[in-house]
Structure 1
Amino acid sequence: MRVGVLALQGDVREHLRALTECGATARTVRRPTELDEVDALVVPGGESTTISKLSVEFGLFEPIRKRIADGMPVYGSCAGMIMLADEILDGRPDQVSFAGISMAVRRNAFGRQVDSFEGPVVVDGIDGPPFHAVFIRAPWVERVGADVEVLGRVAAGDAKGRIVAVRQGNLLATAFHPELTGDRRVHRFFVEMAGAAG
């Protein structure tokens, strides 16, 4: 399985390492020709408006949208979740997304950088204990369409019940950063999901 990591901005190396540890052939994607060489894609955490702008400047925006529409498996973490949303709340007027998941996502929903936190999240379909989830200026999902499967919610605190993990078909998104921990279950789940998609 050849899995690309969109390498325009964000925590690219961490995703490459996690994917490699899960048995995938991981490589960076910065050009449309590199996108053509992968079976699946990870859109990393970072800054969604920057990823949005650079994807257009590097000529990747339309090719990625087309590959998503054609069924390419994609996993987005944090900013990547925003980039996969059909609707972005509190986004910049010129911000665009790859879309694909029928959901409305609120940027920086948990607050600013100083409000970043860690907490337990149970993700349906992934065995084992709750994830030790790292939230950094993270989004949350405010509403989902009928075809979206809600996989995880915040378990405690002021944000208890907020949606932070979803799946729609071949698209997976989390508001948290599993690539920043040693827990590879989300990446393994995605690699297996991508393999099943052919």
Structure 2
Amino acid sequence: MDVTVGVLALQGDVREHVAALSSAGARAVPVRRTSELDGVDALVLPGGESTTIDKLLRAFDLFEPVQARLRAGMPAYGSCAGMILLADRVLDAIDGQRTLGGVDITVRRNAFGRQVDSFETDLQVTGVPDAEQGPVHAVFIRAPWVEEVGPAATVLARVQDGAAAGRIVAVRQGSLLVTSFHPEVTGDDRVHRLFVGMVRDSR
């Protein structure tokens, strides 16, 4: 437990991310205030509703401190709504919606459809530990996808089957990682182990 990873605890699967990070060898703590943010080496932005999390970040006076830490090089991982929050550009955003930015991608909100269109599939995710164990089982819930990737970012996974085949659903840029899907709910901690490794490498 040589690194401390915060989980933004305003909305979403906070307990599940804490459990997955702990399994991956990190000390995981919820973050709701700037004093807690100051004590972490990295931050996970969980799923939920990106517009609501944006508003809550502002209400808790966390938006600027988190953005400042990101710009200073803090590693971060965003899943689903967290991907939207870390994206530089968002399609279908509501009026006034802001993102923290940092990843040179364009994402489309709710691209896979509504809650009833949620689905699961297996993905080949570049860079995860123990890749020989097979594909990563991915759960998509009102998920975004990546429409455009800038030159600084690297695609790690695409949907392989179905109507959405070829859509980009995992990207890394430096010490920032984003996924459209929710690895914290599957019991497979390899995406979180990838991120914890990124945090260690950044120190």
TM class by smaller structure: over 0.9
**Aligned position for 1:108:** 110
Q: Map Cα deviations across residues 139-180 of structure 1 (whole Å, 9 max, x no partner).
A: 000001101000000010000000000000110000000000
Asked if residue 24 in structure 1 is aligned to residue 29 in structure 2, the reply is: no
The whole-number CA distance in structure 1 between the counterparts of 2:176 and 2:111 is: 21
SS at match of 2:74: coil
RMSD: 0.6
Among 143, 164, 170, the alignment partner of 2:169 is 164
**Aligned position for 2:190:** 185
Structure 1, unaligned runs of 5 or more: none
Map 1:1-198 → 2, pairs under 5 A: 1-126=3-128, 127-128=131-132, 129-198=134-203
Task: Measure how far apart 1:94 and its partner are.
Answer: 1.3
Task: Measure how far apart 1:120 and its partner are.
Answer: 1.2
Task: Measure how far apart 1:15 and its partner are.
Answer: 0.1
Which residue identity lines up with residue 136 of structure 1 in the other structure?
Answer: I
The whole-number CA distance in structure 2 between the counterparts of 1:173 and 1:180 is: 16
The whole-number CA distance in structure 1 between the counterparts of 2:61 and 2:76 is: 18
Which residue identity lines up with residue 9 of structure 2 in the other structure?
Answer: A
Give TM-score scaled by structure 1 length: 0.99
Task: Measure how far apart 1:74 and its partner are.
Answer: 0.0
The whole-number CA distance in structure 2 between the counterparts of 1:35 and 1:140 is: 28
SS at match of 1:124: coil
Which residue identity lines up with residue 56 of structure 2 in the other structure?
Answer: L
Task: Measure how far apart 1:93 and its partner are.
Answer: 1.0
The whole-number CA distance in structure 1 between the counterparts of 2:101 and 2:11 is: 18
Identity of aligned residues (%): 63
Give TM-score scaled by structure 2 length: 0.96
